[in-house]
Amino acid sequence: MSNILPDLATLQDIRINNNLADVYILEGDFNTGQTLLDRTLTSNIIHNHKREKVAALFGYGFLYEKQHRLEEAIGYYNQAITLAQSYGDKQLIKKVMRLLLNVLYQLNWRDEIFDVQRDYIELTEKMNVDHLLQQVMNLEFKRQKEKLEKKAYYDPLTGVFNRYFLDYQLQKWLNRAKTTQFYVGMIVLDIDYFKKFNDKHGHLFGDMALQLVADGLKTFLCEEDVRIIRYGGDEFIVCLKHAQKDYIKTLVQNIHGYLLSLTVKEAQQSYPLKVSMGVCVNNQKNYHYKDLFKQADHCLYQAKENGRANYVIEELL
């Protein structure tokens, strides 16, 4: 630990010296610039820090170019390029190559200009390809991420949102409703006597009934601002929002009527779908999922006690 801290301080000094050297060279104070660069190249840690050494070599090339000692500048620019190539710093290589070409043009060294131009073009093309590949990889990563998120949030049987969405995303949707001061209606519904259907007709029949409910909700509510969630088993949660409370109440009545019109078909027979619903409409103040769900769930039990295949709706006080 005692050796690491002094090395970090020295490395920071080297970086500062390299930056200051460029400033002094630009201002024409070549002696001070060279002194600072000498400190970098004679440092006892510079061999472990290639990027800083490249910066110093580049600085020397810049120094000699400004002093019109062009052939000496070429030597240092070439050293900087070679060292940068050893650890693959393409951006820095390209930068030094541009300066090297400028010096070569001043000297009119045509063969060297051709060689450096060729290397510069190849490097640029490779960087463009690398950039394009990175964009493709980022796009593919985004697509895979979206696919994984979709798998995480959607119920594979019914295609509606699942319990994971309910726990981690629904409150965000409710918060957006709060910012617009829309009313929110939460519906908790399930299929009446679902277990008896399963026991009598088998689980595939039960799956068909669940898919029928989910598809019916998606079809009927396709133009509404709504979230449909499979809570578990045969129970679904439907959250919808609207600027008018009465609109939500009327929509709830129509949803229930529509679901009761559906039938499950199996072995050339049709079985009417029986659904009970509990509904809570908020007061434009409470947008907490648990409070809405608690009251809607209580209403569902009331609907069951009232003979099933109906709904009970209450406002959240």
Together in a domain, 171 and 300: yes
Instruction: Classify 136 as helix, strand or coil.
Output: helix
Q: Do 264 and 270 meet the contact criterion of CB atoms below 8 Å apart? A: yes
In this prediction, residue 1 carries a pLDDT of 43
Whether residues 43 and 167 share a domain: the answer is no
Residue 255 lies in a domain: yes
Domain count for the chain = 2
The residue with tokens 């601002």 is: 225
How many angstroms separate the CA atoms of 81 and 92, rounded?
8
How confident is the model at residue 5, as a pLDDT? 47
The answer to whether residues 102 and 229 belong to one domain is: no
* pLDDT score of 142: 78
CATH number, domain containing residue 207? 3.30.70.270
Residues 311 and 188 in one domain: yes
Domain membership flag for residue 123: yes
Residue 4, pLDDT score: 47
Residue 101 corresponds to which amino acid?
Answer: L
Q: Residue 233's domain spans which residues?
A: 163-315
Strand 235-242 and strand 226-232: pairing?
A: antiparallel
* Terminal-to-terminal C-alpha distance of the chain: 64
Residue that the structure tokens 């003979």 belong to: 307
Please give the DSSP secondary-structure letter assigned to residue 157. T
Contacts 24+ apart (CB under 8 A), 265-272: 266/201, 266/205, 266/208, 271/197
The CATH number of the domain holding residue 48 is 1.25.40.10
From CA 130, how far away is CA 135, in angstroms rounded? Answer: 9
Q: How many residues does the chain have?
A: 317
Does residue 141 sit within a domain? no
Give the Cα separation of 54 and 96 in Å (integer): 10
pLDDT value of position 150:
66
26 CB contacts (<8 Å, ≥6 apart)? 66
DSSP letter for 47, please: G
Q: Are 252 and 275 in contact, with CB atoms under 8 Å apart?
A: no
Burial (CB count <10 Å: 0-12, 13-18, 19+), residue 46: middle
> Which residues of the chain are modeled with pLDDT < 70?
1-6, 146-151
Same domain, 179 and 113: no
150 burial (CB, 10 Å; 0-12 / 13-18 / 19+) is exposed
Cβ within 8 Å of residue 82, ≥6 positions away: none
Comparing CA positions, the residue from 270, 140, 287, 284 lying closest to residue 212 is 270
Look at the block and give the residue holding tokens 């929509």: 251
How far apart (Å, rounded) are the C-alpha atoms in residues 59 and 18? 7
**Would you give the DSSP letter of residue 161?**
B
Residue closest to 253 by CA, chosen among 231, 234, 277, 230: 277
Among 114, 133, 152, give the residue marking a domain's end. Answer: 133
